[in-house]
Structure 1
Amino acid sequence: MRTPAIRAAAALAAAALTASGCGLAAPGSGGAGQDGPVDGPADGAITFQTWNLKADYEEFFTGVIEDFEEANPGARVRWLDQPAEGYADKLSADAAAGTLPDVVNVAPDLVHPLAEAGMVLDLDRARPGAAGAYTADAWAGFTVPGEDGTYAYPWYLNTGPVFYNRALFEEAGLDPDAPPTTYDELFDQAQRMAEATGGKTAMLGQTPGIIDLGLYGSQAMNEDGTRFTFNDAAGVEMVERYKELYDAGALVPEALTQDYTGAGEQFMSGAIAWAPGSAYDLENFRTNAPDLYENVGITEVITNTGRAHMYLQGLAVSAESEDPATAAAFAEFVTNAANQEAFAHEVQIFPSTKGSLDDPYFTEEDGTDEGRVRVAAAAQLESATSYTPVVFGDQMQNLLRDEIALAMRGDKSPQQALDDAVDRCNALLEEG
């Protein structure tokens, strides 16, 4: 449920580099700035790589590059944009070959193996004081367990409301003006919808993942970030509740299949009544599902912690860059408050810079559904956090999904399924 250009670049991206699988080795002695502050004039030639943004935002980024070059005589920026498919593999191949672009678009999970291999700058050392421009939670999103430092500049953020189908609520005898606001209410209404429709309509379209467990109150890892712990009481309780929903027909059975595409398409087609989304989904509904758009309801994310999930994108600087001062200066320019706020007017994302969310654009509704979603999402970001550990890669996500599917089918108890998922994920973590 995302626009094509942003879908892969948003923090919902599933693909992840893993240090054990991508063949990364420690960098050679080529680049400058690996061991201390990076300063000097920004007058070199660098490459800048984004993630599936050029098709829709070429004019915006061309303007940003021109502004930077004008402000820094001698600087030259060559923009590369990679497609959504295979982006993680492309980063892995470039890193292994020593051809990582000078400034590269990353999500927290993508920067993790690069940081462990020493292939991106530790910005706390390379650019002392840079952290002050960004919110603390956004800056912390690019730290790595077991490593000192921060390995990417926070760029744009997202979080989202929950969308629900008012027409399906009415058909099931539920009040479309009183959507669930707690998990108890969600599970109760999901059961009632399944009963009222004879299992024809399910409320939910996805088994819980690591983010859902976090929102419910489970702790993904210990405080040191060295072991997974999501098999705690909260995690088990959530899986137990979902098992009850699955048995009642309140969760679509397709959610347990290996090739399942997710709740978004199910919601768009009217097969389910409830789906988490993000601030830019309404335009997708208007264009591709006009009947749904006329009946869509918008409500807040349900959480037991009081904190929504924050999706985060960033810009990392290659430790092998021949012009690290130019690269770092450009990354700071792209992610400064003015440019982040301008980008937020191009697409429904949110800046990570301090004070930016105080702008009336993010605090005052303009009478449109989009404005309502934007203001609600911005308010959520005030306290949002990331529930996905940077070390929780794609293989681990698949393991958790598979174990929960076994619990849904009754092949394992919820406790055993999460115990096994934790054991297997910790084994992968130890392999590193």
Structure 2
Amino acid sequence: MPISRRTLALAAPALACALTLTACGSGGDSGGGSSASGKIEGDISFQTWNLRAGFKDYFEGLVKEFEKQNPGVKVKWLDQPAENYADKLSADAGAGTLPDVVNLSPDLAYPLAKAGVLMNMDKEPATSKFKGEYTPEGWKGTAMPGLDGSYAFPWYLNTGPLFYNKDLFKKAGLDPEKPPKTFDDLFTDANKMAKESGGKIATLASTPAIEDMGRYGVKLMNADSTEFTYNEPKGVEFLTKYKELYDSGGLDAQALTNTPEKSGQKFLEQKVAMNPGSALDLSNFKKNAPSLYKNLGITDAPNNNGKPNMYVMGLAVNNQSKHKAAAIAFAHFVTNKQNQESFGHKVAVFPSTKGSLEEPYWTKEDGTDEGRVRVASAKMLKGAVNYTPVVLSDEMKTILKNEVAKALQGKKSPKQALDEAVAQSNKLLKQN
């Protein structure tokens, strides 16, 4: 039951191949300028990812306030569309024109960090001193495997609630106030619901993704993230259970081809008992499916680790910036407690600064659909982790999805399917 990876930046392809950074060098402290003097001065550029349309006034206000506090700095705000954002990062890095401060997700940061283009926040004294201002989950969320450090100030976090239909649970003889918390609970409840409904009601509408494996407890990669390992026995066990679920009717018959929109529609039509969603879905249910709305439960996706899934966005600093002190100061300014909380009040994301999620806005419902989802989601972020490996490309995700489909259809055994997915993905990993 994968949840959309990004809320604001829309889906963009991951960097699919290694960067050729002939113009960028190998990193280090070669920025010169304000880095050597420590003075916060100079002209810097700040790039966001598909945010201008919705938040133009907010970011222009941030820039104006920072420049007021730091009269020696001028900030040029750039905003790139979601489409081909990864390609734009790659091209700019290769040409030595990457902006001083860049908004990116961990998977997009990894190739740049590996190539020495991004500043290691743990190694640079000017950035590591701020580590205590952020939640451990947020700071760890920008860590790069095998590179010994985090490579961006954590910015906004997100997690997705799982909606469930209490009425369908009750009709199947399940406790509507006790949704499944572990995968064992999920498989048991889903099989019972399929049996009690005569195969008419499935519990889930989509095939599992790699983050679902992570929540099940599968070891996804080796220690230094140089090889995928999700074909281990626990991974085979996981896919075998999903195959059994598919055969019993606990997984929707169209799960192999369902888009998130189709899955959401099946949930709205009360043909599926559980589905990830957002506050926007609640408003839709209230208008178009009032009987569903009044019986709607909100929970976290089942997991065997006690740690929900989390998505993180960060602000990275170009290691080759000519004005590092200014770039660091601005990246920290945008991601400080006050500004993160302000941004979190404008859009359904969550601040990564310590203490923010203890504020009433994220702990007390206000009677609105948005408040109901916001409070439920905020509770899930404590101890949450990003299960999706940062080296997993979109091509690798497609490979896994296709092999999972073959296993569910019985064209391959779960072990054969996962072995093939791992072999293909590891081959791509070595090529990169």
Q: Same fold (TM over 0.5)?
A: yes
Moved more, 45-54 or 325-334: 45-54
Q: Distance in 2 between matches of 1:77 and 1:289?
A: 44
SS of the equivalent of 1:125 reads: coil
**Residues 227-284 of structure 1, C-alpha deviations (whole Å, 9 max, x = no match):** 222122322221111101111222234332497767445435544221234xxx1134
Partner secondary structure for residue 255 of structure 1: coil
Quote the offset at 1:396 in angstroms.
1.5
Structure 2: which 5+ runs fail to align?
A: none
* CA deviation after TM superposition for structure 1 residue 72, in Å: 0.6
Aligned to 2:276: 276
Would the aligned equivalents of 2:31 and 2:320 in 1 still touch at CA under 8 Å?
no
Q: 2:283 aligns with which of 286, 291, 307?
A: 286
Q: Secondary structure at the match of 1:254?
A: coil
- Partner SS state of residue 154, structure 2: strand
Counterpart in the other structure of 1:68: 66
Contact 1:153/1:315 (CA < 8 Å) preserved in 2?
yes
Q: 1:201 to 1:229 in 2, by over 3 A?
A: same
Question: In angstroms, what is the RMSD of aligned CA positions?
Answer: 3.0
Find the aligned partners of 2:123 and 2:31 in 1 and give their Cα distance: 8
Matching residue's letter, 2:50? N
> What TM-score results when the alignment is normalised by the length of structure 2?
0.88
Find out whether 1:248 has 2:248 as its counterpart.
Answer: yes
**Counterpart in the other structure of 2:20:** 24
Are residues 60 and 147 of structure 1, via their aligned partners in 2, closer, same or farther at CA, if it must alter by over 3 Å? same
Compute the displacement of 1:41 (Å): 2.6
Contact 1:31–1:322 (CA<8 Å) still a contact in 2? no
- Match status 1:111 vs 2:109: yes
Conserved? CA contact 2:31–2:319, under 8 Å: no
Aligned equivalent of 1:353: 353
What 5-or-longer segments of structure 1 have no aligned partner?
none
Alpha-carbon distance change, 359 to 7 in structure 1, aligned in 2, over 3 angstroms: closer
2:41 matched to 1:43? yes
Maintained 8 Å contact 1:255/1:262: no
Query: Which SS does the other structure have where 2:255 is aligned?
Result: helix
Deviation at 1:182, TM superposition (A): 2.9
Question: Cα 1:27–1:168, aligned 2, differ >3 Å: closer, same or farther?
Answer: farther
Task: Name 1:202's counterpart in structure 2.
Answer: 202
1:333 is matched with which residue? 333
Amino acid at match of 1:57: F
Aligned mates of 1:269, 1:80 — CA distance in 2: 42
Contact residue 311 and residue 386 of structure 1 kept, 8 A? yes
Greater shift after overlay, 90-99 or 192-201?
192-201
TM-score by length of 1: 0.88
Q: Distance in 1 between matches of 2:194 and 2:45?
A: 53
The CA deviation at 1:118 is 1.9
Q: Which amino acid aligns with 1:88?
A: A
Query: For 2:123, what is the secondary structure of its paired residue?
Result: helix
Deviations 1:58-77 (A, max 9, x none): 22222211111111103222
Mapping for residues 220-235 of structure 1, pairs under 5 Å:
220-235=220-235
- Give the counterpart letter for 2:13 in structure 1: A
Between the two proteins, the alignment pairs up a number of residues equal to 424
- The one-letter code matched in structure 1 to 2:139 is W
1:363–1:378 contact (8 Å) kept in structure 2: yes
Separation of aligned partners in 2, 1:67 and 1:124: 27
Q: For 1:343 and 1:163, locate their aligned partners in 2 and report how far apart those are by CA, in whole Å.
A: 25
Kept in 2, the 8 Å contact 1:9–1:313? The answer is: no
Q: 1:167 to 1:282 in 2, by over 3 A?
A: farther
- Which is worse superposed, 250-259 or 102-111? 250-259
Q: Which moved more, 1:255-264 or 1:404-413?
A: 255-264
CA distance in 1, matches of 2:102, 2:382: 27
